Amino acid sequence: MTETFDAIIIGAGQAGPPLAGRLTAAGMKVALIERKLFGGTCVNTGCMPTKTLIASAYAAHLARRGAEYGVDVEGPIKVDMKRVKARADTVSTNARTNLEKWLNGLDGLTIIEGHARFEGRDVVRVGERLLKAPRIFINVGGRASVPDMPGVDTVDYLTNTSILRLDTLPRHLVVVGGSYIGLEFAQMYRRFGAEVTVVEKGPRLIAREDEDVSEAVRNILTDEGIMVRTNATCIGFKPHPNGVAVDIDCTSGEPFAVGSHVLLAVGRRPNTDDLGLDTVGIMVDARGYIGVDDSLATNVHGIWALGDCNGRGAFTHTSYNDYEIVAANLLDGKSRRVSDRIPAYALYIDPPLGRVGMSEAEAARMGRDLLVSKRPMTRVGRAIEKGETKGFMKIVADAETKQILGAAILGLNGDEALHGILDMMNAKAAYPVLQWAVPIHPTVSELIPTVLGDLKPFN
Ligand SMILES: Cc1cc2nc3c(=O)[nH]c(=O)nc-3n(C[C@H](O)[C@H](O)[C@H](O)COP(=O)(O)OP(=O)(O)OC[C@H]3O[C@@H](n4cnc5c(N)ncnc54)[C@H](O)[C@@H]3O)c2cc1C
């Protein structure tokens, strides 16, 4: 017998649960289907455990630097990986349990555990159960992609999920992929005490950022003893008596690195291949991302796609914002659009990189007259006082409209300080407005008006 609902939500990641809350509060009968862990990637294998581990790594790093601050710590710093892991597990488990409790208390919500698959444009199967609803919301997220690199099947490799199960220190961690996820794990494990090599096939790390950002990030990592191998044109894997040999380069440098452990961090793919989308005619792009319009509706009436699986964002805040857009349009009579969202994100190495809007290179490609200003963190009082002066702040503005087009703050509290700029951009205020704010001293944010005051024509 088919069970009928007003709405079905597939996936309990960052958009599904709050949407279930809003729809049930509006009086709808809703089914929420989850095949694995409530809270999805962020809570269980993404942001929350990684940022908790990064906090442990930062504590170890600061302890090693204690003498620089006049604080003597006796003997070598020891990191107990079992306790480090337990701390991260607790943070994730608490968040997941709280979410489950909240969902279980929602009137009108039926929670179903299992894998969902479309059987018709308004019908979804979960095991033996058939569910039907006029509105279906897909929030299935993504997973680590494992590319078809030579020898990858002959070795044990880690992904962002399996590495979280480690409770011992790898002797040598080889991280394949020099982008956001890989670099966070690289620095974290280096600070825990492992040898770390980052292998990146492109000419520089985090290649979508400006070259000066990539270069500064590389220096931050190599200063801590992380080996970085870019232009790794021949990545491949072979079992080795000491672990795994990772082929790097066929032309120059050491041709391979031997790691006791290898982390594959070479991108993500959407969980859309086993959803039965083709039976309903839902369009996906070549990489499997579900096509959506500006309101996040798919090409099939009554079906929406939210979060990482629609390719319009790859972050917790973008997935949550997808929920806000859909809920506002369906329940509040609004017409919110995903294209109104200003892209912003952070890379949580230490110091972090906060980013908003366009990079300098992207802005330059627009062909408009630009203003650019850059200030090293060595000229930021708070950073000097805290002994954390790596990185820089950079802001790009349109010379004519005086709108800020983008910014990067690579440095102490860069992830937080950036919000002053994000808020200005969101309010569509011209940059001179921010110059008249009176920021608190001593903060990193207090230098933002100064950086704006130094904007110069870009050449
Ligand atoms: C290591 C790592 C670190 C990260 N750090 C950050 C960070 O610091 N900040 C940030 O903003 N983002 C970060 N992210 C990204 C962030 O985790 C994701 O963008 C976010 O979780 C996406 O949410 P979502 O709701 O789209 O999907 P998910 O959170 O992936 O949720 C999708 C859910 O759907 C379920 N599902 C899938 N298919 C089905 C099916 N057929 N039937 C039933 N259920 C199904 C899955 O089990 C999952 O629970 C990180 C990601 C990783 C991997």
The string of pLDDT tens digits covering residues 213-235 is 999 999 999 999 999 999 998 89
Specify the residue with its C-alpha closest to ligand 1, atom 17: 42
Ligand 1 mean position, distance from CA 43 (Å): 8
Ligand 1 mean position, distance from CA 171 (Å): 29
Ligand 1 atom nearest the C-alpha of 274 is: 41
Q: 109-152: per-residue pLDDT in tens?
A: 999 999 999 999 999 999 999 999 999 999 999 999 998 999 99
Q: 237-291: per-residue pLDDT in tens?
A: 999 999 999 988 767 667 889 999 999 999 999 999 999 999 999 999 999 999 9
Tokens of 39: 């809270």
Q: Is 217 within 8 Å of 408 (Cβ atoms)? A: no
Give the position of tokens 């993500």: 268
At residue 63, does pLDDT exceed 70? yes
Ligand 1 mean position, distance from CA 325 (Å): 18
Ligand 1 mean position, distance from CA 13 (Å): 6
* For residues 430-449, average pLDDT: 95
Q: What percent of the chain has pLDDT over 90?
A: 95
Ligand 1 mean position, distance from CA 12 (Å): 9
CB crowding 316-334: b at 16 or more within 10 Å, else e: bebbbbbbbbbbebbeeee
List Cβ neighbours of 105 (8 Å cut-off, separation of 6 or more): none
The candidate with the shortest Cα–Cα distance to 182, out of 167, 168, 202, is 202
| pLDDT for the residue 256 | 87
Q: 392-410: per-residue pLDDT in tens?
A: 999 999 999 999 999 999 9
The SS3 call for residue 353 is strand
Torsion of CA 252, 258, 259, 262, to 10 degrees: 60
| pLDDT for the residue 252 | 65
Q: 169-195: per-residue pLDDT in tens?
A: 999 999 999 999 999 999 999 999 999
* Ligand 1 pocket mutation, candidates 41, 45, 271, criterion most atoms within 8 A of CB: 41
Alpha helices in 139-294 (DSSP H): 180-192, 211-223, 277-280
At residue 459, does pLDDT exceed 80? no
* Ligand 1 pocket mutation, candidates 32, 38, 42, 321, criterion most atoms within 8 A of CB: 42
- pTM for the whole thing? 0.97
| pLDDT for the residue 186 | 98
Q: 318-372: per-residue pLDDT in tens?
A: 999 999 999 999 999 999 999 999 999 999 999 999 999 999 999 999 999 999 9
Options 61, 261, 301, 441, the catalytic residue: 441
Ligand 1 atom nearest the C-alpha of 142 is: 30
Mean pLDDT of the chain: 97
**Ligand 1 binding pocket, CB closer than 6 Å:** 10-15, 33-37, 40-42, 46-47, 50-51, 115-116, 139-142, 160, 181, 271, 275, 307-308, 314-317, 319, 348
- Radius of gyration (C-alpha) of the chain in whole angstroms: 24
Distance of alpha carbon 351 from alpha carbon 190, whole angstroms:
15
Torsion of CA 361, 364, 366, 368, to 10 degrees: 160
Distance of alpha carbon 239 from alpha carbon 392, whole angstroms:
41
Enter the DSSP assignment of 447: G
CA distance readout (Å), 227 to 76, 99, 230, 247, 371: 22, 40, 10, 15, 35
Specify the residue with its C-alpha closest to ligand 1, atom 5: 47
At residue 19, does pLDDT exceed 80? yes
Q: Which helix (H) or strand (E) holds 370?
A: strand 370-376
At residue 435, does pLDDT exceed 90? no
Q: 372-384: per-residue pLDDT in tens?
A: 999 999 999 999 9
At residue 315, does pLDDT exceed 90? yes
Active site includes 441? yes
At residue 75, does pLDDT exceed 80? yes
The SS3 call for residue 326 is helix
